A and B are shown apart, each in its own frame.
Chain A
Amino acid sequence: MQKFSDLVLVLMVFVWLRGDPVSPLRPICDLRILDHFVREARDSEVIMRGCRGGCGVMNSYFVPLTSVDFAVWEQIDAQGQAEEVQTGLSLLVQALSAARNTVSSSPLISTLDNNISNIHSLSQILQSLHLEQGRSTALSDDSASISIQTQEVSTLPELLQVQSSFLRGKVRLLFSAAPVCQKRNR
């Protein structure tokens, strides 16, 4: 009997651990991190403009829409916004990775790597904000499940411009409006 109780205890501990594979993150509400990522995305655009060879090929990239109509955006709830942002980030990562494979310019390669890493971090930060309750937060490359609208771009400069606009726009709006951060600051 005692052995059974011990086992149950151990199992409970394990279930509890498994149930929450990612340790609860403290909310990262400092927008300076996001601003840092935004600046690095802008740097990529600059490097791209100065690229003189091995700057990628034309390809079809599906990227999220970046335009924000405040009148519409403010009507969407926080979860919807979070979902849209997460999906968009996922799309961006895929597109950037695909574009990076076609680039041979080393400065461009390094900055693209940086951008990809930044978007992964952003995804983690979004999770810390607990905006998506009860939904999978993992990045998925299943485009069919994406409910947001997308657009197609064909060149790397356009892709980088989309990345920059998306980070400055929707991602930042989501971050600055996160309820968790609002409660902490005020």
Chain B
Amino acid sequence: MRIDTLNVVAVLCVAFVTIGGQSFERKVAQLLHGEADDLKCFVESKKDLTCFWEEELERKNSHDRYTFMYSYEKEKSRTCDISSLSLLASNRTVFLCKLPQVLFFTVLDVQVLHDGRMLYNRSLNVENVLFLDPPRNLTVVSSGKEGPLNVSWLPPHLKYMDDSMIYEVRYAVEGSHMGKVEEIKASTKLILRGLQPGTRYKVWVRVKPDGVAYDGYWSAWTEPVFGATPPSDMDPLTVLLVLFIALILFILSVTVILSRHKFLLKKVWPDIPTPEHKFPGLLTVCEGDFKEWMRQNNGNMWGRSVHVYTEELPSPLEVLSEISLASHATSQREERITLEEEEEKMESEGTDSGITGSWREPSHAHWFMEQLRALQENPQSLSQSMLLESPDTYVTLNQNSQRARAEDDSQVDDICDESLPLQTLFSNTGTSSLSASRSDLGSLQQSSGSGRLSSQSSFEYSNHTWSPNRPGYTYMAVADSGVSMDYSPMSLSRIEDLGKRVIYTNEYKNEIFGHKCPISGQC
């Protein structure tokens, strides 16, 4: 029992000394950095004064070579035993002396000698170098609903000095580096006001003599203590106001939605577009059968004209032809033929909108027909009348057609640069195919509703279906399979053979270009 008590006491002593030692070392370290004097002195309590100085790095000396002398006013000098202390934190060494006798309120002279030479000299009053321990038992308590924090602490253990101390309280929001400091004199309580509600705060305190009777250095900060402010109560007026505004906004939004619900519905959930407005009856009557719908709407023209290959559908092709008139007679005949053709077309086409044009400009057609007639009447002039002049510019075909023509028909001359399928048609040797260098489907829209026969009206006619009453018409079958336009004349023959085969020529004019190529073929 007694041994246990002794053990406990011993442990406590060691702990106390250790803690005290740590505190002392911290004070030495703090003064080492903070104070300007080379020889620093401080008093921890009323009964010990410590003076220390840093070991000079140039001379690694032992403390034997130093002498510490001190003398109080009107007294003789005395020496003090020097010891050394290694600061672990900063890896420095200091020599220190703890004076055996401490007298306050009188002048103290201290000297440090190194090898007999004066190194440091200082006069001080001991009551002016107090270095106190931090305050004890710091507590932070929240007081009620209003939010201020009550901070209280105990002063360090120094008798009769409570009323000559000042304190500094530092507080900051937890996690923040911005803190506020408040100074308080001769009191160990403080009420922190103006804090944010519902926030956790960190509070520190430190102490210093007030400087009237005693003076010294600021102590170290205490360990931080946390305190939380209560969350703020909602002001009933504020709550009511917020609810009222929310209600008004809700009523407004409901009103807007109800008044424009159709519009909003259309925007949010749009209808699937149908072509019904453009194609009346397509979906309702014909049930999506476009051919049927076309048949119903367009009548004979389309029904007779459109013969679709099973494998591919005809697609619009704008082909501009340019044929120079070698002889008027030929052209005359051609024109006549063309005119008849056009008239027939006009009947059958009817009022198709957007697909075909109508022959409303007989002058052009008349001229073209004349050319065709001339061609028919005068086969020899074929070679010369390879170019059917038309007032418009034309699609350019590739060079194959031109070469083909050149090979077999030396009679071909005055060919316009923009050679056309008609040239091929009139050549003796047939070219298998011509590739249009360009197909301008854009003319679909341009020529719709116009008076000219547009390129859309490229029809494929089989030999048999066409009326045999129309000999001499060059027939072109045009098929659009993908990118390239591939049209091949169904028959290529001399004019003599025209009667056996059905040749049909269409004049394709581009409405945009208005100039007329001369008959000579030079555009």
- Which A residues have a C-beta under 8 Å from some C-beta of B? 31, 35, 38-39, 65-71, 151, 161, 165-166, 168-170, 172-173, 176-177
A169 and B163 contacting across the interface, CB-CB below 8 Å: no
**Chain B contact residue count (CB 8 A cutoff):** 21
Q: Are A68 and B105 in contact, with the CB atoms below 8 A?
A: yes
B 172-213 contacts with A by CB, 8 A: 212-213
**Complex interface residues of chain B between 325 and 372 (CB less than 8 A to chain A):** none
> Would B213 and A168 count as touching, CB distance under 8 A?
yes
Task: Say yes or no for B101: interface residue by CB 8 A criterion.
Answer: yes
8 Å CB contact of A172 from B46, B73, B107, B213: B213
Q: Does B31 have its Cβ within 8 Å of any Cβ on chain A?
A: no
Query: How far, in angstroms, from A71 to B99 measured CA to CA in the complex?
Result: 14
B101–A69 touching, CB < 8 Å: yes
Chain B, 93-110, CB within 8 A of any chain A CB: 101-107
Measured CB to CB, the residues of B under 8 A from A are: 46-47, 72-74, 101-107, 125, 127, 160-161, 163-164, 212-214
Which residue in B74, B101, B105 is a CB contact (below 8 Å) of A165? B105
A135 to chain B minimum Cβ distance, whole angstroms, is 24
Q: How far is the CB of B155 from chain A (nearest CB, A)?
A: 13
Distance (Å) between the CB of B1 and the closest chain A CB? 35
Q: Could you tell me the distance between the alpha carbons of A65 and B72 in the complex, rounded to whole angstroms?
A: 12
The answer to whether B163 touches A31, judged by C-beta atoms less than 8 angstroms apart, is yes
A176–B162 Cα distance when bound, in Å, is: 10
Could you name 21 residue pairs across A and B whose Cβ atoms are closer than 8 Å?
Answer: A35-B213, A38-B213, A65-B106, A66-B106, A67-B72, A68-B104, A69-B102, A70-B46, A70-B102, A70-B104, A151-B73, A151-B74, A165-B106, A168-B105, A168-B127, A168-B214, A169-B104, A169-B127, A172-B213, A176-B160, A177-B160
State the CA gap A161–B125 with chains docked (Å).
11
Task: Tell me, rounded to whole Å, the shortest Cβ–Cβ distance linking A129 to chain B.
Answer: 14
Query: In the complex, how many angstroms separate the beta carbon of A89 from the nearest chain B beta carbon?
Result: 15
Q: Kindly list chain B residues whose C-beta atoms are within 8 Å of the C-beta of A168.
A: 105, 127, 212-214
- Say whether A38 contacts B212, CB under 8 Å: yes
Q: Judging by beta carbons under 8 Å apart, are B105 and A39 in contact?
A: no
Residues of B within 8 A of A66 (CB): 105-106
18 new A-B pairs (CB below 8 Å) besides A66-B106, A69-B102, A165-B125?
A: A38-B213, A39-B212, A65-B106, A67-B103, A67-B106, A68-B105, A68-B106, A69-B103, A70-B47, A70-B102, A161-B107, A165-B106, A168-B127, A169-B104, A169-B213, A176-B160, A176-B161, A176-B163
Please name the residue on chain A nearest to B108 by beta carbon: A67
Give the contacting residue for B105; candidates A31, A67, A71, A176; CB below 8 A.
A67
Contacts of A176 in B (CB 8 A): 160-161, 163
**Residues of A contacting B125 in the complex (Cβ-Cβ under 8 angstroms):** 165
Q: Give bound CA distance, A161 to B105, whole Å.
A: 10
Closest Cβ–Cβ distance, residue A11 to chain B (whole Å): 46
A126 vs B103: C-alpha distance when bound (angstroms): 24
A166 touches B105 (CB 8 A): yes
Option from B47, B73, B214 in Cβ contact (under 8 Å) with A67: B73
User: What is the minimal beta-carbon distance from B462 to any residue of chain A, in angstroms?
Assistant: 128
Query: Is there contact, CB below 8 Å, between B212 and A68?
Result: no
A166 to chain B, nearest CB (A): 7
Residue of A nearest to B104 (CB): A68
Q: Which residues of the partner chain A approach B46 to less than 8 Å between Cβ atoms?
A: 70
Residues of A close to B213: CB separation below 8 A: 35, 38, 168-169, 172
A120 to chain B, nearest CB (A): 21
Distance from A54 Cβ to chain B, minimum over Cβ atoms (Å): 26
For B74, the chain A residues whose CB sits under 8 A away are 151
Which residues of chain B have C-beta atoms less than 8 A from A71's C-beta? 47
> In the bound complex, how far is the Cα of B214 from the Cα of A38, in angstroms?
11
Identify the closest chain B residue to A38 (Cβ). Answer: B212
Cα–Cα, bound, A68→B74 (Å) = 14
Report if A173-B47 is in contact (Cβ < 8 Å); known contacts: A67-B72, A67-B105, A68-B105: no
Q: Which of B127, B161, B212 contacts A35 (CB 8 A)?
A: B212
Q: How far is the CA of A165 from the CA of B213 in the complex (A)?
A: 9
Smallest beta-carbon distance B259→chain A, Å = 78
What's the least CB distance linking A68 to chain B, in Å?
Answer: 5
Q: Is the CB of A173 within 8 A of B160?
A: yes
Chain A minimum-CB-distance residue to B101? A69
**CA–CA, A67 and B101, complex, Å:** 11
Query: What is the chain B residue whose CB lies nearest that of A173?
Result: B160
- Of A71, A151, A165, A168, most buried by chain B (CB within 10 Å of CB) is A168
- In whole angstroms, how far apart are the Cα atoms of A67 and B164 in the complex? 19
Q: Which residues of A contact B127 (CB under 8 A)?
A: 168-169
CB distance from B49 to the nearest CB of A (A): 12
Bound complex: CA A166 to CA B72 (Å): 15
Give CA–CA (A172, B164) in the complex, Å.
11
What residues on B are CB-neighbors of A69 within 8 Å? 101-104
Q: Which residue of A lies closest to B73 (CB)?
A: A67
CA of A35 to CA of B107, assembled, Å: 21
Contact B105 A169 (CB under 8 A): yes
- Chain A minimum-CB-distance residue to B103: A67
A68 to B104, CA, bound (A): 5
Q: Which residues of B contact A67 (CB under 8 A)?
A: 72-73, 103-106
Q: How far apart sit A69 and B102, CA to CA, in the bound complex (Å)?
A: 6
